[in-house]
Structure 1
């Protein structure tokens, strides 16, 4: 297929955006013998999924069964209900049950089309595994590495998160690699990485893992199935007749073109992380920065706004898939955050935040959250504290000398602290906590009191305030050589360091409200006929939390799969949604 075929005037199904849910929906349509087109505004294909850590959260999946790990629909539902406590129009029992029933079937379906998956090589537990129904082994699924050269001419059109695509290493393997200076497992992981890179060079392969592997494989499947994939085809508006969405108007080669859809339009065009005006308009709890995000460059919100203009209900517009970042308080970015082509990739601290001899505090010197816990919760807690006191953005990460000697931070390997970080003021350094507090504008007495309390927890191994290190997820990202708690180490050896922390993200988590079939709903609960939405264009099924690695991608794929079956009148839909016997 041409790398940008001509558009036909009409299709059975149109999919706006090229993320993971789009590929799943399009594959279903083609297997049903229907004509389907994916319309991507950017030159690159893959959407937010390509920029991700490349994980699906799939309860009761077949890989768990093969490994002898006990999971079920009922157990997963108990975990969902104990973890997703937010109440809103997008968090419904019908959507929950549809996801839990359809997700493992969706995964098996795509595996049957050629998708290659595995369980994480290293531990990746559910984020709240101590909750009823939680799995310390985790319900996450990873893609097998993928050689981009298999795509032929399409390789150059794949969207990639460049810093992550440089290493053929799964996101699940990084916590072990981070301990290369501390454990034999870390040293072996570094050696294996070196061998993989040498092998790829010898065999002239370009192996990618994570989001690039998911979308590389899914694009390969889509093209094999005969899906039309159209690049540089931005959405302009919906075609509506007698209240029903019957197609879209796109721009192609500088001209507007109408494209009709006989059965429906599925929107999977991402959220609005990079739309500063839209984010500021809905932010009610504190400042937000469109430049703090690691979302894909196409995450600009115009399609979400178009659905709102049609009357779509919305929820959780002020939240996101938070992963905190760090920068200088003057707005400048540190060495390592700007890529060789000038693109900014803010540091993402969801793993290095978890390591010992560190703690995160607000400007009063008080801790905010379990630093080793679920990253979305950390962002939510920062905003809650900011709303309460106005003194949590920026927050501050405080380190002692052992952290900087042993562990990575940002883009730098274990033990490396560039002089430019200190010279620019991005990383503060002082011989005493009092002097460090003065540099950061933190209340010195509050910081001293909090460090003293925290150090006491480090000695007992029990964090009485936030439970750091009490869950399997925390411990999987700690340093097992530190006892009695692998996530906690006393802050007592100078010099001391600090970095300003901001609530960065990898995409917005609020959007339009949809039902269990991914139909877009109005405020009164009625549907907008012919219009479906999945992924970051929608309000999350999980409200304001993240239950496990890959929850957003798992939901996007699953509801894309369901949307196509529903829009095309599939006879299989009832069977897909049928709850297992243990329900």
Structure 2
């Protein structure tokens, strides 16, 4: 026991948790007249029992009151005065959390219920306490620090910041911000009268309710992983802080708030840097581009640091080419492999990469990639909203030594409603990868969508999905169930917003600021205004490469006209890097990620490009021919070797040809499988149709006899199950993307059921792979091989560590995120 505290104390919410712990702490520190206020009489009785175990001479007044009832609060405080004559210390521990529900889905009644208790109830209590304290004579050891009373209000860390989008509690957050506001206003107003008012803002505290929540899978368990001490605060620890605020030791504190962050405070609240001379704004880290590489780097640079981070996205949508992708990452040795019973080893991975890359194998870059790849996956899952799923996908060259299954991982689907209004700025997936404009689905559910009336399960699934999509359109203007690359972007956006990263859309990096071997910042154009932005630690270039720049593409690619990359991929990162002294390496084996491209030319708006990576051309019942009607390659081959074969054959235009069965089962590009309509695509000549193969050849503009001969020859191969010309369907990769229900070869079926269809294709790319030369930490290197200080290149702005070769699915996103992770750690001094 001590005599730190004296006088009459009133504690609301005293029946459990922080209120109960504060009651006990006050008794230990000398309080002998104590009023308990709570709606739960049993809880107050339990608190009284614990008090008497400490000191049975304490006078305890128990007051049952509903804190949403103004009159009940007024009457309770008057009862304290009637019993003890005054109130020297008041602790307003008032608050309910309310339902975890986004604003768009919350009723006014639910919102008002929280406000009535957490804000209005607390304000009424504070008002009555102030009125009583103004009637009291100042007391204290000397005239200078005499006090009429002290009030402490319970706010929350959510009074300073917002929770993650996955745990929306809008009224609670608004009220806790409001508690801080009323604390500061009244502290200023009544300080001269000798009334001190402060607030305390705990994070998660180990109350009985929280203990129950931690036992369940979900947000509490995820939050607990982030706590440096490995535990949440105990109520007694918060109680001691309250004891300090009401004691003479804090006699000069008023209008203050003690913040109890359960993880490093700087991970959510960034220090606002003073504007430096010659600059309009100042950040520690500026990231150019918002694909997976840029967002991963931004998150890594921000997490657990006081770095102020900006992401500048050139277009109006976040996600870059990642949003168009399948969202897969090639991460050899990833932790998901062991969950699937697959054992990988560093030696086998290196052997495989040496087999694939040959003389292009660069030891320092590959070693850095292999060092950090598994760690990146585990670290992102532990600290961010990103979640991965293991697969049994094979490497692309399973005939090579060291090849393995499971090195490609996918991103878990994501509920985009957690992003709130930001969901509207997630880049749309490609047409053909979604239905009805923006309705996405998991690839595993494609067969369900093809046969919605086949059974009750299919019908129920499709009906529920359509109902949700209709609701999403009304609320958000687009679908919010995100899959594949969109899911990865959504999860990364939630992660960076949680860490306080600033996002600028329609923000073009015009030119660098710096020289003498270092970067100092960037000139960024936003809202038609040039803004000089200081980057105190680093500029990270992740602008998406140059796939949509005609100038750069003509210089470094065989075809400059066709790309499925984002229109913002104009080579900004390379231009800025070279201007600062960065260098380009010798040309790669391939300077881009190749793919056949189909084009839809609408009456209005830009041309829509669609990459035919695997989903249609790998299936049985189709062929790809050149302008003479001849096959020239294995249609089911991985996209990179298929593109290389296309260029080697000198093909500038090709055609995906299939019959009615093929189109209805598998679709052709933007033409979705049955039962979805294709009439609009036929009218726009995206897809050509004819009743016979010779008629189809005439529509294409080639010799009918040649195409008919090619189809006849292929049909013979298909019936035999063996492609003597190009060995289609013989490799494990081919078979993995074929149709397992088709025997004996899952990639071969004859084209024989009219009508027949042709889809014009062009030898294009999905992304460039030729970029700035970097070291093992993604630092941009000058022509002498020395780093340009503070400058990093990531994703497609970094030259491919595979030199344009492709060991497995996700060989751009995988290294892109790994080196972004390394860059974020390195610039923060953590690597």
Asked if these proteins are the same fold (TM beyond 0.5), I'd say yes
Across the two proteins, how many residue pairs are aligned to each other? 544
Contact 1:323–1:375 (8 Å) recurs in 2: yes
1:125 to 352, 372, 394: 394
Match of residue 215 from structure 1: 489
Match of residue 719 from structure 2: 459
Q: Residue 211 of structure 1: CA displacement? A: 2.0
Match of residue 216 from structure 2: none
In the aligned structure 1, how far is the partner of 2:624 from the partner of 2:446? 19
Q: Residue 77 of structure 1: CA displacement? A: 2.2
Match of residue 620 from structure 2: 356
Gap change, CA 1:148 and 1:435, over 3 Å in 2: closer
Match of residue 173 from structure 1: 444
Match of residue 519 from structure 2: 245
**Structure 2 SS opposite 1:63:** helix
Q: Residue 32 of structure 1: CA displacement? A: 3.5
Match of residue 265 from structure 2: none
Contact 1:239–1:246 (8 Å) recurs in 2: yes
Deviations 1:483-531 (Å, cap 9, x if unpaired)?
1111111234555432221123332222222222112233443433322
Gap change, CA 1:567 and 1:423, over 3 Å in 2: closer
Gap change, CA 1:98 and 1:453, over 3 Å in 2: farther
- The structure with higher relative contact order (CA 8 Å, sep 6+) is 1
Larger Rg belongs to: 2
In the aligned structure 1, how far is the partner of 2:792 from the partner of 2:365? 14
**Structure 2 SS opposite 1:156:** helix
The reply to whether residue 56 of structure 1 matches residue 335 of structure 2 is no
Match of residue 11 from structure 1: 283
In the aligned structure 1, how far is the partner of 2:757 from the partner of 2:670? 17
The reply to whether residue 82 of structure 1 matches residue 345 of structure 2 is no
Match of residue 546 from structure 2: 272
In the aligned structure 2, how far is the partner of 1:465 from the partner of 1:80? 29
**Structure 1 SS opposite 2:317:** coil
**Structure 1 SS opposite 2:645:** helix
The reply to whether residue 231 of structure 1 matches residue 542 of structure 2 is no
Written as runs of structure 1 = structure 2, the 5 A alignment for 1:438-457 is: 438-442=698-702, 447=707, 450-457=710-717
In the aligned structure 1, how far is the partner of 2:665 from the partner of 2:533? 57
State the TM-score, normalized to the length of structure 1.
0.83
Contact 1:279–1:318 (8 Å) recurs in 2: no
In the aligned structure 1, how far is the partner of 2:821 from the partner of 2:377? 10
Contact 1:430–1:495 (8 Å) recurs in 2: yes
In the aligned structure 1, how far is the partner of 2:535 from the partner of 2:407? 36
Q: Residue 55 of structure 1: CA displacement? A: 1.9
Q: Residue 288 of structure 1: CA displacement? A: 3.1
Q: Residue 534 of structure 1: CA displacement? A: 0.6
Contact 2:621–2:751 (8 Å) recurs in 1: yes
Contact 2:556–2:591 (8 Å) recurs in 1: no
Contact 2:632–2:646 (8 Å) recurs in 1: yes
In the aligned structure 1, how far is the partner of 2:462 from the partner of 2:764? 28
The reply to whether residue 400 of structure 1 matches residue 659 of structure 2 is yes
Q: Residue 114 of structure 1: CA displacement? A: 3.2
1:376 to 629, 640, 643: 640
1:261 to 529, 532, 535: 535
Contact 1:125–1:473 (8 Å) recurs in 2: yes
Gap change, CA 1:177 and 1:96, over 3 Å in 2: farther
**Structure 2 SS opposite 1:295:** coil
In the aligned structure 2, how far is the partner of 1:175 from the partner of 1:199? 17
**Structure 2 SS opposite 1:324:** strand
Contact 2:777–2:822 (8 Å) recurs in 1: yes
Match of residue 577 from structure 1: none
**Structure 1 SS opposite 2:286:** strand
Match of residue 808 from structure 2: 548
Match of residue 532 from structure 1: 792
The reply to whether residue 93 of structure 1 matches residue 363 of structure 2 is yes
Gap change, CA 1:180 and 1:480, over 3 Å in 2: farther
1:345 to 598, 608, 611: 608
Deviations 1:90-144 (Å, cap 9, x if unpaired)?
x5122112112211101111111133424267x63322233322224x3222222
In the aligned structure 1, how far is the partner of 2:445 from the partner of 2:470? 21
**Structure 2 SS opposite 1:271:** coil
**Structure 1 SS opposite 2:546:** coil
Deviations 1:286-313 (Å, cap 9, x if unpaired)?
x431xx4332232122232232343421
The reply to whether residue 29 of structure 1 matches residue 301 of structure 2 is yes
Gap change, CA 1:542 and 1:368, over 3 Å in 2: farther
Deviations 1:391-421 (Å, cap 9, x if unpaired)?
x111122223432453312233324674555
**Structure 1 SS opposite 2:649:** helix
* Structure 1 residues not aligned, in runs of 5+: 328-332, 387-391, 574-583
Deviations 1:168-226 (Å, cap 9, x if unpaired)?
423x4366568759x98x99778645444446767989321122221221111112122
Gap change, CA 1:233 and 1:447, over 3 Å in 2: closer
Contact 1:316–1:511 (8 Å) recurs in 2: no
Gap change, CA 1:214 and 1:191, over 3 Å in 2: same
In the aligned structure 1, how far is the partner of 2:371 from the partner of 2:799? 20
Contact 1:317–1:539 (8 Å) recurs in 2: no
Contact 2:590–2:804 (8 Å) recurs in 1: no
Written as runs of structure 1 = structure 2, the 5 A alignment for 1:295-306 is: 295-306=565-576
Deviations 1:540-568 (Å, cap 9, x if unpaired)?
22233333222211111111111122233
Match of residue 144 from structure 1: 412
Contact 2:385–2:494 (8 Å) recurs in 1: no
In the aligned structure 1, how far is the partner of 2:382 from the partner of 2:623? 46
Contact 1:10–1:262 (8 Å) recurs in 2: yes
2:669 to 407, 410, 415: 410
The reply to whether residue 564 of structure 1 matches residue 824 of structure 2 is yes
Contact 1:246–1:261 (8 Å) recurs in 2: yes
State the TM-score, normalized to the length of structure 2.
0.60
In the aligned structure 2, how far is the partner of 1:406 from the partner of 1:24? 37
Contact 1:168–1:197 (8 Å) recurs in 2: no
